Structures are given as C-alpha cells and as structure tokens.
Amino acid sequence: MNNREIIARRVAQEFEDGDFVNLGIGIPTLSTAYLPEGVNVVLHSENGHYNFGPLTCEEDKDPDSINASGELCVVRNGGVFFDSTVSFDIIRGGFIDKTVLGALQVDQEGNLANWKIPGRVVPGIGGGMDLVVGAKKVIIAMEYTAKGEKKILKKCTIPMTATGEVDMIITEKAVFERENGVLVLKETYPGVTVEEIRELTEAGFTVDENLKTMSI
C-alpha cells in the first residue's frame, strides 16, 4: 500500500453517513473509494452543486455538468444546482460537515499554508480559503514530509490560507487532532514510533494517553 492509499483509507474512516463534504483534488478525493459499508457522503462542488459523482455511462456526458476540477460529472438524485453565491454561502455559512485538503505546511496553532510558494507561480486561491474558514471540520490529508522537509511546524513560514482552522491532520505515519488549541498525536502507523514522529515534526505536540495504532 503506498502512502496515498494509506492516507486516503484513513481519511475515509472520518466520514459519517450523510455527511456533506467538500474534498480537494488528489488524496482527499481518492478517499471516497474507501468509504466504509453503509456510509455515503454528499459531495459539494464549489462551482455550484452537490451530490455529484463520476460519469457512469456515455449518455451522462454533458458539457454543462462539470465539478470544480473541470471534470464531467453527474449530479445524482437529491442533488441540486445553484449559483456561485449560494455555493459559497453554503461553505461560509457552516453547512459543510467536513472539508479535506492537502497542505504545504501546517502548524501547531492550526494555521494552514497551501496556496502560495514564494518565488513560484501561484495557481490561485480558488475556494480553499472559504472552505477552511467555513467548514465545521477541517481535515488536512498529506504526506508527512515533502522531499525530506518538515511540514508540521511551529509556525508556517510561507503565506497562510487561514489561521487556527485546522482540526485534524492525517498522514501516512500519524494522525493528529487539535484539542483545546493543542496538537495531540492520536495514532501512529504500525511500526512508526513516537520518537520517529518527534524527529520529523517541528511543531510541539502532546501524545494522547490512549495513543492508538492506525488501522487501515
């Protein structure tokens, strides 16, 4: 199992049946492939609809029906189309149960950086800033380090997406939650030690007294 799959499988465990969720591209979207039996989530798309899924047949192809990544999709029974303001009203208004996004950096204060690397071309902000501020629960799904560089820091060093909004970090080595403003190590992957996590982490964190092994 590669890192992406480990992370996606663990993310999938966070969903409850009926959750309204907005998932970033990559690992977050991949997580829906591993939903537990009996758990269905409603996918919200920034461009203006919810309850979408992939095309199931050639007849579904409709150029007016895309998701926020620009892929053709189908809005299923019970889904709704709306305009951009309503789409972000849903986000900002706190109606999204969970959003899962990748990160360049996260810090111990719950700050997130995932939109801009100084000196590189910025692709943009899109709906990310609104999602992180608005969603009830913000889950960061990412690989633990980037080419050896630490990503879970004392303080983000690149421009932030939002401050103090991250609730949970899911990686291939460990799972953290923020509790009362403190980063708490909740789970480690089989074979990964707390010491190893400490070495790979700049952020301060506490270890949960019921530290668990990630079960995928």
From candidates 82, 136, 198, 207, binder to another protein by CB under 8 A: 82
154, amino acid identity: K
Which two tokens mark 19?
Answer: 């959750």
Determine phi and psi for 91, rounding to 5 degrees. Answer: -70, -55
Closest contact distance (angstroms) between CB of 67 and another protein is 8
- 4-43 footprint of another protein as x/- string (CB under 8 A): --------------x-x---------------------x-
From candidates 23, 90, 138, 200, binder to another protein by CB under 8 A: 90
From candidates 103, 162, 174, 203, binder to another protein by CB under 8 A: 162
CB-based burial, 82-105: b 16+ in 10 Å, e otherwise: eeeeebbebbeeeebbbbbbbbbb
> Which CB atom, from 9 or from 98, has the smaller least distance to another protein?
98
Closest contact distance (angstroms) between CB of 31 and another protein is 21
Residue 29: CB atoms within 10 A of its CB come to 18
Q: Is 187 marked active-site?
A: no
Site size toward another protein (CB under 8 A) is 57
214, amino acid identity: M
Q: Would residue 135 be called left, alpha or beta, if left means φ above 0 and alpha means ψ between -120 and 50 degrees? A: beta
Just list the catalytic residues: 46
